[in-house]
Amino acid sequence: MRSRSSAILSVLAVSGLLLAGCASGAAPSETSAPDTSVVESTVTEPASVGERVGADGVMLEVWSGAVPDDTIGEADPGNQWVTANVAQWVTGEGVTAADVAPVLRSTADESFSAEAEARQNVDIEMAPNKSYTFVWSYQVPEDLVDPATLVLCVGDGDEGCSLLSD
């Protein structure tokens, strides 16, 4: 009988320690959330790849870029394809990915701006504050295809810009 009592007490002691360990963990409201800060950036002072940039309720984070991208096929004469893998967020309702397609710009030529061409369906409505991943491609004049000068922006403005590649 004594060995049975010892075994039961041992099991209860171990259970008590496990429960005490669980109780000492952080409550869900106390856990740290992922960093969602937006880095201030412009075309002339873009953020680095992997930093979140934004303006006017639209945010993006460049994950990677292919400069030039020879996997797509032929670009128009005198151009090359450039591709960016991007995480995107919006704060407003009723916005599709096509509405907030990033614009490619160049620090070497302020007049250059390229509209995005999607590599997947972008007519889906984006839920506010939810991350979406898109692959966007751009036709860029061959003389501007330089990873050090290509910048991806949330729009036509001067803010919310990130380097396309490091």
DSSP for 69-90, written as a single string: -TTS-PPSTTEEEEEEEEEEEE
More confident residue, 24 or 2: 2
157 domain-assigned: yes
Among 132, 98, 131, smallest CA distance to 116 is for 98
> Where would I find the H helices in the chain?
2-23
pTM assigned to the model? 0.76
How far, in Å, CA of 81 to CA of 65, rounded? Answer: 11
CATH number at residue 122: 2.60.40
> What pLDDT digit, counting tens, does each position of 78-132 carry?
999 999 999 999 999 999 999 999 999 999 999 999 999 998 999 999 999 999 9
Structure tokens at 67: 């400069």
Among 49, 27, 52, 25, smallest CA distance to 37 is for 52
106 domain-assigned: yes
Cβ atoms of 102 and 84 closer than 8 Å: yes
My answer on whether omega of the bond before 68 falls inside 30° of 0, hence cis, is yes
> What pLDDT digit, counting tens, does each position of 9-19 carry?
343 343 343 33
How far, in Å, CA of 131 to CA of 89, rounded? Answer: 5
14 domain-assigned: no
Among 40, 74, 79, 60, smallest CA distance to 135 is for 60
Can you tell me whether residue 153 is helix, strand or coil?
strand
Number of domains making up the chain: 1
Q: What is the pLDDT of residue 23?
A: 37
Q: In which domain, by residue range, is 147 found?
A: 53-163
78 domain-assigned: yes
27 domain-assigned: no
115 domain-assigned: yes
129 domain-assigned: yes
> What is the average pLDDT score of the chain?
83
4 domain-assigned: no
For the chain, give the number of residues.
166
Q: Taking 50 as the threshold, does the pLDDT of residue 2 lie above it?
A: no
How far, in Å, CA of 18 to CA of 13, rounded? Answer: 9
